[in-house]
Each structure stands twice: as C-alpha cells, then as structure tokens.
Structure 1
Amino acid sequence: MTYPSTLDAVRVDHPAPDHVPRDRLVDIRFALGGVPNDLVDPYAPSGWLSGPDIPRLLFSPTVPGEPGNPFAHPAGSWIVTHYADIERVYSDNELFSNKGTAEFQALIGETFPSIPLAIDPPDHHKYRMFLMPHFGPARLKLMDDDMRALVNEMIDGFADRGEVDIAWDFGRIYPVRIFMGLMGFPRDMFDQFLEWEWAILHSNSFEPIAAALRGVVDFLRGFISEKEKAPDDKLVSAIVHGTIEGRPLTGDEKIGIVWFLWLGGLDTVAATISQMFRRMALQPDIQDRIRADRALIPTAVEEFLRTQPILSSGRRAKQDFEWHGQQIKAGDSFQCFNPGGNFDPERFADPRTFDPARKPNRHMTFIAGVHICLGAPLARRELRILLEEWFRRIPAFRVKPGADTSVHPGLLSIRNLPLVWDV
C-alpha cells in the first residue's frame, strides 16, 4: 500500500471555520490507526508529520474517525504533531480544557462527568489525590505476587505447546483480569465487558454504542449500589465509601469515577502487549538483547511505549489567542498526534530506531500535564512483570508461518497474532 508522504498529498478542500487558513486543511486519518499496515514499524508512514518543514498547526475539517462517527466535531479540529506543541496543549491549563473528554455517556442523556479525566483544575486536583493512593507504588507492590502468579498460570497453559495467540489468548485477558481484580468486578462479566468496550470505542455506529453504554452504565450503577450495602476491600468499594474534602461522594461522583476507570482499564494495555510481541517477533534482535540482559526490561518497556503510542488525546481552547501565527478561537478543538511527538527528531535522537536502553525517554504515550494517565504505574508494572516471566520461560519466538501480521497502529491494534517457538 502507498501512503501519503507530503503535505500536498493530504491537503483537502472542505468547509472549515473562517479563521482557519485553507492551506492548513488536511486529512490525516491514515495516520490515526484506522488504516492497517504490515510494516515492522507500523507508525513509520506518518513519521514525516513531525518533520521540521511541517507547519506547527494543521487542521482537520472533521475530527479523525470513520464516516458516521457519532463523536465527530462538526467544526473540525486543529492537529498538533510536534513534541513541544503537544506538551503545551497537555500542560497549559490556562488555555486548554479537558472538559467533555471521553464523555461517551452523554450520547444516552447521562450528565455525570468522566472523573477525573474531564475535570479541569483546580477541581481536578481533589479527585486525582483521592485516587492516587490506589495507584501508588506501595499499593501496586502488593499486587506483584498476584500479577506474577497470573502470568505464570497463563504461560503454563501454552509453554509446552510451543504456540499461543498472544493477542487473543493472552494480551486480551491478562491486563483485564488484573484490572477486574483490582476493582472487585465479578470475573463472569469478562466477556460482556469486552463486548461493551469494543462497541463503544470501535463500532463507530450510534446504535451499538448507545446499547453498550446503557448496558455498562446500568451495570455499574447496580454494582455501586451493591458495594454501598456490602463493602469489601476492592477499589470500587473504596470509592463508594470514600470521602473528598471531608464529605461523602455524591452519586454523580461515584458513577463518574467508576465509569472512567472502567473505560480506561480494558484494552490500552492489551493493545500495547500485542504490538510489543509483534515487534519482538518481527525484529528478533530486540528479544535477543533483552534475553541477554534482563536488566534492560524497565527501559525496554518505556521504548515499547514510546514506539507504539496507543492513544492520541484532545483538548479544547478556553479563550481566543494567537499561536504559531494562527488565530485560535475559544471552543476550537485540538487533537494531539502522539505518534508525532514520540518520533519527533527534535526530541529523540534517531527516533525510528528501537533502543531498549534509551534514556531519557519522556514520551507522550501516557499524555502529560495534570491529566497524565492515572493507570500508567500499573501498566508499566504489568508489562515489566510480563517480560520478566516470559523471558524466563519461553525460548526465542517468531510469528507462526502464514499468519497475518497486519496491525492498526493505535487502540484498535491486533485481534489475532499466533506466535510459535521450539519446545
């Protein structure tokens, strides 16, 4: 497949707000995970977007997504592709707002916010501080033995067989089981949760999205009610019975926090695992280096995260201002193109080379600023423990001959990826 490689190739002529220059109108949907490819580095086709000759602000006349996407913003969105600019959008809370982000529930008439993601400072701080102890090092360290036991339990099921579908039979399951255990959700909801999540994030059609939203919100409200009557030692119960600034949480705060954690806990790490093992299978020198020096695992995890950014996040301008010579209006939508930032040559030396020892490695995969991913420490721990146990038990591996290695470079990622090794 041929991918556009110049600005002229992605320029479009579509209606846009009057203050947006016509020469900044682009269609970069090819770079946002909707188009699969079979490259060892699946993010390579969009690398030129963070080059020094690319204007610092582009504009997509419609929010990137599939036709009929119910979340599309009719006015379009500014596209930010360079590291320094992405960092500013994520960090400048005076100019940029996160209000309304990931509030899919509004489609079915719900008015509770997604907490703390869609809450701007200063209120954001109190919610962040309320949740941080549950994702801090001391709490997560207590989960190490259970994570390690789960990894080995799963490896036991296929180690002697010499084959596993790392995406479907491992990546899809391992982080979700950890998340469900942390939250206290019943394990028999596993398949239903993934069905709901897939419909909400990947169907791009109103009917299945609305049905899934109603299903999950109704379930979460019922589960919250159960924990109000019968508390336990899990996170949902701690939220339900917790206090903020000395007062109990309101009903909207309870569902807003639990909903946000549910939405964020199901497939980001799964997508990362699938892409991580795909890269190692297609580029075996990476697994050779890690196997030879397992002290590289923490920095290798960061490099996997940098080179496979799963999500790009958005913000909205809070006021009129000028930036890079462009007039920005209050309410303008911004889409930060995290793959651009993570491969920006002004920030990372030789950015397209996978270096498992790379330091420093301050990538944008977990966003930045006050809204940096709450679950980042848990995700890092899950990946680190997985690699430690995997390289202890599994020989050098490769993709099963004849398998499709196509990947959507983003959250959609990989559904199936069979790996094999010599038993």
Structure 2
Amino acid sequence: MNQTGPAGVADAPCEIPAHVDPALVVDFDYRQPEGIEEGDVYRAYARLHRGPDIAWTPRHGGHWIAMRAEDIKWIQESWELFSNTEKSVPKGQMPPMPPITFDPPDHSRYRAVLNPYFAKRRIEEGYQPKSRAVIVELIEGLKPKGACEFVSEFSFVAPLMIFWDFVNLPYDRREQFLGWGRQAAGYGTAEERVAAFRAVHDYLAELLDQRLEDPGDDVFTGISQWRENPRFRHRDEIVGMAELVFFGGQDTVASQMGFAMQRLAERPELQQRLKDDPDIIPAATEELLRRHGLSNTGRLVRQDVERKGAAMKAGDMVLVMNSLSGIDERAYPDAFTVDFDRGPVPHNSLGNGPHKCVGQHLGRMELRIMLEEWSRRMPIVRLDPGKPAPRSHAGPVIGMSHLHLCWDC
C-alpha cells in the first residue's frame, strides 16, 4: 500500500527493525487512517484499540503508537524516558519551539516566560468579558439565519478573534494567518510547509522587535523582553516561543467547539439539559474535553525501555495519540457517549507532566462560555438533513471539516 498524506508526499512503509515484535506491527497512517472516508476520525482511529496496546507501524519512517489512556499518561509524565525534542512524526518536521520542544530543566525557564500570561486568574479576569462579547456577537448574528455551517461561521471564527485580541494581532490578516497555519500543519506541499514556517518566523521576528520598542501587556511583549534576561541565549529561542503561541492558538479551541457542537446536535436532549440546568455547564465542559482529545504528537525515546511487550529503543519515535485516550473503554465505560453525569474523571486531553497545555485555562474558558451563551440564546439545533453529514479530519491535530446545523428545519 502506498498512501499520500496531506503534505502530498507518498508515504511508503519502511522495513521493520529487528527489535520490533512482528505481533505488534500494524499498517496505520495517522494522517490518513483506514475508515476516515466515512467522516468520523474517532471511529477511524478507534480501530487500533482492537490490537495491541502499544503498536508499531512502518508508516512515516516507522514509529510506535501509544493509544491507551494509562500508557499515554505514563509517557506524558516520563520526560526522562521520552523527549519532546522531536515533537512531530516523522522526525525533523517541527522547528525548535520552546518550551514544547525542550525537556527539563531547560523547559522550565521558557515556560516561566509564558505562564504569567496564561494564568487562570489573568484569563478569567482579563479575557472572560472580551471572550463572552465575541461569542455573543457571533451567536446573535447567526440566530436569524435558521441554519449555518458551524465550522466556517463560528468555531473557526470565535477562537481566533479571541486569541488574536489576546496576543494583539491584527484580525484583518486572519486569512493569511490561517493559511500559514494550515500549510505548516502539513495541508499542502512540502515546499508550502517550509515556506509557511519561514513566513511565520520572519513575521514574528519583526513583530518581537516592534513589541520591544513599543511594549504592551500581551504575551508577545513578554517574549520580546526575554532577550534582556541574563539566561537569554539567542534570537531563535524567542522567535520559537512566539511561533509556539502563534500556532497553538490556530485550531485547537476551534476543534473542541466543533466536536462539542456535533455531539449536542446529534443529541438534542443534551442541549435541553444545558438550558434547564446551566449549573452543570462546568461539568459538561470537562466531559466534552474528555471525549475529544485532539493531538497526536511525537516523543523521542531517550533510553531503551520496555512496556507491555514493546521493546522501545533509544532513538525510536512514539506517537502519543491523545485523540484515542478519551475513548479508551477501559478507562471510561461507554467512552464514546457524552455523559454530563459521569462525574469528575481525570483525562489526558490537555496533557500531563511538565508539558501540560499552557493555554488550558483559555481554551476551557472559551468552550464553557460557548456552552453558556449558545444554550441561553439559541433554540435547539440539529444536524441539517439537507446538507452533507458532519466530517472530521485526521492529523497532528484533528478537527471538524464541516458541520451543517439548522434550527428552523
């Protein structure tokens, strides 16, 4: 089998190394998994749960696959065994972006630059009113229409308007920023991917110079001022930090909103529950986060380690499939079902250990406000029977491709 991924490059399988047990080998491409043509990325990925807990695939240079919640949590917390210095699969696809591509102790000094700007109190006090205003404006604009394509008209718009205000970027350049983000994620040719990274690098390098000369209270200003810190090493580290913030704000919250609304539209009784009992919205937010892990990221094995019969050697790559963690039936009974009464359960959707998502409070707040305002202002919505069925896509960050809703139907 010879598949072509989003980058347009044929992905021929590699040879199986001698240390890999043939019983653990699966032919799996996380960018183009079998079954994705049916439209549900989670169902396509979940086929892996029929096989070994830790598998190996010859795709994308050959790599291990961690798919069970307990193994994903273990890898996320075991930074001394699994390095973040290679964050993409295959290797070499992601430029250095501190702190996410650094291990402790270097990781900590970069994380300290970002943490104050993403602190829970700062997010709730400084950005909750702005976020609510954006979401309310978009909802009120949709309401008279009777129908919408939710991804393009809401879930991609709201988080980006909020994020670009958060980092003080010009919203009128949104199409250019989105294009760079899509190409850098691999949706285009290899040449377009390289060009996108270069364009973002150059744009942010100039922006950081501007913020140093004309500072604000945003995270890019904080990053620009790192060069005045005694621990500053070189210019690329501040540009890398800025790139992480830039790309991190592109599509993750949009994906969460899209998947959440799909579940609500499929089950109108969940919408009614939110209307009747808004006090459950924090629990509903967490349950939707549990159900919808988004990322599929790499780790570089630092030293030989064995787990569940998988003999991982130093230099091997592991794909950590957060997208499969929340639908692990061993960890969550009836895992595919969204249950607002499930109760507080731990999940891996936002990571664990030193690399737990720095933007978790911002993303959680945006999803919660969407649920609050949508349930307060909109009638019951359903999947539009006259439009194509919902479709989601695979990749390093999964998401909705389109979601047609109606409420006057």
1:77 corresponds in structure 2 to: 63
2:5 corresponds in structure 1 to: none
1:132 pairs with 2:118: no
Residue type of the alignment partner of 1:129: A
Q: Which runs of 5+ in 2 are unaligned?
A: 1-11
Deviations 1:154-173 (A, max 9, x none): 12222222222211011111
Aligned partner (choices 363, 368, 373) of residue 347 of structure 2: 363
2:300 corresponds in structure 1 to: 316
Deviation, 1:81, is 1.7
The 5 A counterparts of 1:8-407 are 15-29=15-29, 36=36, 43-47=42-46, 49-50=48-49, 54-63=51-60, 74=61, 76-102=62-88, 113-141=96-124, 142-203=126-187, 205-242=189-226, 247=231, 250-407=234-391
Deviation, 1:116, is 0.6
Deviation, 1:306, is 1.9
- Could you tell me whether the CA contact under 8 Å between 1:86 and 1:341 is conserved in 2? yes
Corresponding residue SS for 1:218: helix
- Could you tell me whether the CA contact under 8 Å between 1:103 and 1:118 is conserved in 2? no
CA distance in 1: counterparts of 2:289 and 2:389, whole angstroms: 19
- Could you tell me whether the CA contact under 8 Å between 1:240 and 1:249 is conserved in 2? no
Deviation, 1:135, is 0.8
- Could you tell me whether the CA contact under 8 Å between 1:47 and 1:340 is conserved in 2? yes
CA distance in 1: counterparts of 2:300 and 2:91, whole angstroms: 19
Deviations 1:232-273 (A, max 9, x none): 222211221247865557412210110111111101111121
**RMSD of aligned alpha carbons:** 2.7
CA distance in 1: counterparts of 2:333 and 2:217, whole angstroms: 46
Deviation, 1:328, is 2.0
Q: Which runs of 5+ in 1 are unaligned?
A: 1-11, 64-73
Aligned partner (choices 385, 404, 408) of residue 418 of structure 1: 404
Deviation, 1:120, is 0.2
Please identify, of 133-142 and 355-364, the stretch whose mean Cα deviation from structure 2 is larger: 355-364
Shift in CA distance, 359/323, structure 1 to aligned 2, threshold 3 Å: same
Deviation, 1:409, is 5.1
CA distance in 2: counterparts of 1:226 and 1:34, whole angstroms: 47
Shift in CA distance, 241/249, structure 1 to aligned 2, threshold 3 Å: farther
TM-score for the superposition, normalised by structure 1: 0.86
- Could you tell me whether the CA contact under 8 Å between 2:89 and 2:319 is conserved in 1? no
- Could you tell me whether the CA contact under 8 Å between 2:42 and 2:324 is conserved in 1? no
Shift in CA distance, 105/135, structure 1 to aligned 2, threshold 3 Å: farther
- Could you tell me whether the CA contact under 8 Å between 1:271 and 1:412 is conserved in 2? yes
Residue type of the alignment partner of 1:57: I
Deviation, 1:104, is 11
Deviation, 1:145, is 0.7
Residue type of the alignment partner of 2:407: W
Deviation, 1:150, is 0.8
Shift in CA distance, 422/95, structure 1 to aligned 2, threshold 3 Å: same
Identity %: 31
Shift in CA distance, 352/155, structure 1 to aligned 2, threshold 3 Å: closer
Residue type of the alignment partner of 1:47: A
Please identify, of 234-243 and 29-38, the stretch whose mean Cα deviation from structure 2 is larger: 29-38
Deviations 1:275-294 (A, max 9, x none): 21122112222212222211
